[in-house]
């Protein structure tokens, strides 16, 4: 029989979860011992919060929200409860509130997150801020437009610079053998420069230094003509002294001197076989030549064709005149160029030199006189004074004599330029006066003065009177220079005594008659006509410095004294002083008119010392 033993008692094995449950209270107690002060504060808050929740449940009319276990939650939509939509779960304003509502029952009070949501609504901006935003947007749009405009302008400037650079590369510098590429480049540039906008851009890029590089070495007539044609429009744009200075550095006078020697039309030069130009190039040059005839720089001149000489003279005249007007005293005309200009003056005895405004020779003569007259304002002496006295000044005297012997009705711009040139070279220059004061010229000047006085008495139109007065003053001024600085001139005048129509006797009679009519003036026109008689009294006063002439003038007066003459000069001094007060002094503080007044006062003192002045 098998005996059964009582089985040993088996101690049940503890589950891991049971062990963890037993350890939890001990851990909590340890934490409580370590954090007594903090637990007391937290526990009080938790108790208060739970009491608040219990109180809310007791008084709530809504049913409690059941607590779900993990298995229940996994059933999803079958369990009733609060739904959390996508937008609610994604709300940036209540993500903290959602966790609190899951941990505790939903309170009826407005959650704290709701207050934060209301507080988080941005305040409405005042209208002023919107207006500022609109202004900022407008400013940004304007800046964008301006930026686009600047970009377009920069692109246009870049294209223009490339175009000019291409032209300058084609033009290059003067070479020994004529270059068709240089001719075509200059021609294209000349055509484009007719556009004022293009010309202004060209000046802004400052290409003159490259364009006129070594221009004095140009020996090709066509290229020289073309490059000279570019100077006039450039000078018209301003900055004349700077441009002229650059031209002088590259010996522009040498090129102008070569061109002056060519009198044929440039169209005829282009057709010559030695010029070696194609038919197409000849036609282009001819069309360009026609456009040059229409330039406003010709003013009252109307050339029918242009030769290298005519264009060179016009270029020179512009350079000299505008430089003088700008106050620059540069000596532009070289000695070689001066010789060429006086050769043109020598040919003025023919009638063709006075056929303005269309005659080619007359235009060349006029431009030569204008250039020399402007140049003489500052440079009255050349590099060699002896050459001027022996060669050039006699030519000026001869030219003036021819000009004044023209018919009285044809007295115009050329006569005026010749007179101004004579006055400029004789001012304070006894040698120049003696070189010019030939007997023929002195007789001609006095005769024309008498004729102009007689002609003025018949004028009634104000414009004609003003012109006649100006011409008379210029004529008398030239003669005063000779009387003041040249004893030779006075002796030649005295030698006219005994002639049938001695111009000096006629001038004395004109003066006596004018003194009688001075007090009978009853109109402004008549008063204006008396101004030249004041200059005439000064001229006769200077004549009196030669004793032989003084006697003739004194005996011609009704009082047989110089008293009427001295009285007239004193009246003129008063008139001159009144004019001086209205004229501002120059930059140095000096007024040349005051100097003239002083000279007149000295003249009166000299006349008073002469016997026969007292009545």
pLDDT band with cut points at 50, 70 and 90 for residue 510? very high
pLDDT at residue 511 greater than cutoff 90: yes
How much is the pLDDT for 107? 47
Question: Domain limits of the chain?
Answer: 172-379, 387-615
pLDDT at position 125 over 90: no
Pick from 13-17, 311-315, 595-599: least confident: 13-17
Quote the pLDDT of residue 70.
42
Mean pLDDT to the nearest integer, 113-136: 53
Tens-digit pLDDT profile for residues 52-95? 444 444 444 444 444 444 444 444 444 445 554 544 444 444 44
pLDDT band per the 50, 70, 90 thresholds, residue 206: confident
* CA end-to-end span of the chain: 204
Interhelix angle 439-456/503-517, nearest 10 degrees:
30
Residue by residue, DSSP assigns 62-82 as: SPPPPP--HHHHTTGGGS---
From the number of C-beta atoms within 10 Å of its C-beta (0-12, 13-18, 19+), residue 587 rates as exposed
CA-nearest of 482, 487, 375 to 427 is 482
- Percent over 70 (pLDDT), the chain: 70
- Average pLDDT of the residues in 296-309: 93
Mean pLDDT on 221-242 = 88
Predicted local distance difference test score (pLDDT) of residue 139: 65
What average pLDDT does range 32-60 have in this prediction?
47
Cβ contact 312:229 at 8 Å = no
Judge whether residue 438 has pLDDT over 50.
yes
CA dihedral 601, 606, 611, 615 (to 10 degrees): 0
Most confidently predicted of 124-138, 156-170, 307-321, 322-336: 307-321
- Is the model more confident about 310 or about 579? 310
pLDDT of residue 551: 94
Q: If we measure between CA atoms, which residue out of 188, 187, 180, 172 comes closest to residue 278?
A: 180
What is the distance between the alpha carbons of residues 504 and 508, in angstroms, rounded to a whole number? 6
Q: Which pLDDT does position 582 carry in this prediction?
A: 63
Write down the pLDDT at residue 156. 76
Q: What is the pLDDT averaged over residues 374-392? A: 73
> What mean pLDDT do residues 142-164 have?
78
Q: Report which listed range, 36-45, 86-95, 483-492, is most confident.
A: 483-492
pLDDT at position 105: 47
Answer yes or no: are the C-beta atoms of 106 and 97 closer than 8 Å. no
The pLDDT value recorded for residue 23 is 55
CA 164 – CA 201 distance, rounded (Å):
10
In this structure, of 352-361, 515-524, 601-610, the range with the lowest mean pLDDT score is: 515-524
**Which of these ranges, 283-292, 328-337, 475-484, 529-538, has the smallest mean pLDDT?**
328-337
By three-state DSSP, how is residue 300 classified?
coil
387-615: CATH architecture: Alpha Horseshoe (1.25)
């Amino acid at each position: 029989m098998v005996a059964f033993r009582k089985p040993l008692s088996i101690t049940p094995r503890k589950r891991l979860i049971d062990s963890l449950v037993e350890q939890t209270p001990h851990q909590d107690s340890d934490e409580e011992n370590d954090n007594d002060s903090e637990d007391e504060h937290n526990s009080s808050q938790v108790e208060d919060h739970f009491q608040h929740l219990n109180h809310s449940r007791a008084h709530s009319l809504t049913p409690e929200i059941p607590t779900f276990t993990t298995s229940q939650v996994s059933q999803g939509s079958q369990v009733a409860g609060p739904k959390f939509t996508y937008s609610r779960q994604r709300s940036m304003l209540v993500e903290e509130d959602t966790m609190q509502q899951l941990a505790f029952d939903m309170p009826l009070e407005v959650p704290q997150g709701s207050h934060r949501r209301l507080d988080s609504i941005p305040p409405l901006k005042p209208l002023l801020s919107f207006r500022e935003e609109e202004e900022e947007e407008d400013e940004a749009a304007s800046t964008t437009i301006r930026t686009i405009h600047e970009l377009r302008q920069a692109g246009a400037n870049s294209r223009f610079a490339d175009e000019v650079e291409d032209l300058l590369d084609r033009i290059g510098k003067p070479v020994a053998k004529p270059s068709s590429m240089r001719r075509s480049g200059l021609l294209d540039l000349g055509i484009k420069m007719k556009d004022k906008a293009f010309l202004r851009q060209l000046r802004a890029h400052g290409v003159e230094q490259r364009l006129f590089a070594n221009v004095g070495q140009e020996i090709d007539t066509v290229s020289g003509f073309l490059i000279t044609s570019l100077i006039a429009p450039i000078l018209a744009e301003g900055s004349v002294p700077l441009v002229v200075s650059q031209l002088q550095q590259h010996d522009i006078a040498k090129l102008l001197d070569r061109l002056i020697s060519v009198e044929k039309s440039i169209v005829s030069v282009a057709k010559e076989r030695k010029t070696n130009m194609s038919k197409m190039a000849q036609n282009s040059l001819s069309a360009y030549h026609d456009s040059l005839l229409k330039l406003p720089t010709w003013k009252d001149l109307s050339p029918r064709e242009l030769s290298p000489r005519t264009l060179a003279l016009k270029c020179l005249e512009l350079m000299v005149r505008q430089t003088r007007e700008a106050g620059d005293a540069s000596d532009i005309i070289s000695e070689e160029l001066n010789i060429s200009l006086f050769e043109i003056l020598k040919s003025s005895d023919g009638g063709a030199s006075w056929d303005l405004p269309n005659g080619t020779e007359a235009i060349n003569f006029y431009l030569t006189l204008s250039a020399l007259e402007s140049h003489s304002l500052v440079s009255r002496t050349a590099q060699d004074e002896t050459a001027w006295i022996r060669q050039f000044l006699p030519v000026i005297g001869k030219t003036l004599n021819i000009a004044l012997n023209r018919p009285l009705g044809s007295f115009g711009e050329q006569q005026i330029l010749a007179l101004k040139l004579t006055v400029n070279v004789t001012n304070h220059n006894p040698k120049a006066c003696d070189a010019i004061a030939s007997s023929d010229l002195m007789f001609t000047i006095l005769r024309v003065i008498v004729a102009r006085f007689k002609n003025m008495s018949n004028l009634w139109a104000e414009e004609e009177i003003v012109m006649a007065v100006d011409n008379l003053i210029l004529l008398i001024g030239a003669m005063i220079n000779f009387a003041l600085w040249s004893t030779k001139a006075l002796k030649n005048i005295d030698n006219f005594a005994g002639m049938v129509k001695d111009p000096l006797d006629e001038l004395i009679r004109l003066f006596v008659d004018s003194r009688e009519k001075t007090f009978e003036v009853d109109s402004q026109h008549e008063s204006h006509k008396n101004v030249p008689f004041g200059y005439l009294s000064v001229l006769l006063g200077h004549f009196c410095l030669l004793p032989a002439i003084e006697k003739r003038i004194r005996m011609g007066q009704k009082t047989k004294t110089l008293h009427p003459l001295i009285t007239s000069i004193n009246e003129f001094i008063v008139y001159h002083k009144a004019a001086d007060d209205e004229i501002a002094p120059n930059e140095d503080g000096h007024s040349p008119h005051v100097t003239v007044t002083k000279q007149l006062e000295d003249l009166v003192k000299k006349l008073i010392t002469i016997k026969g002045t007292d009545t």
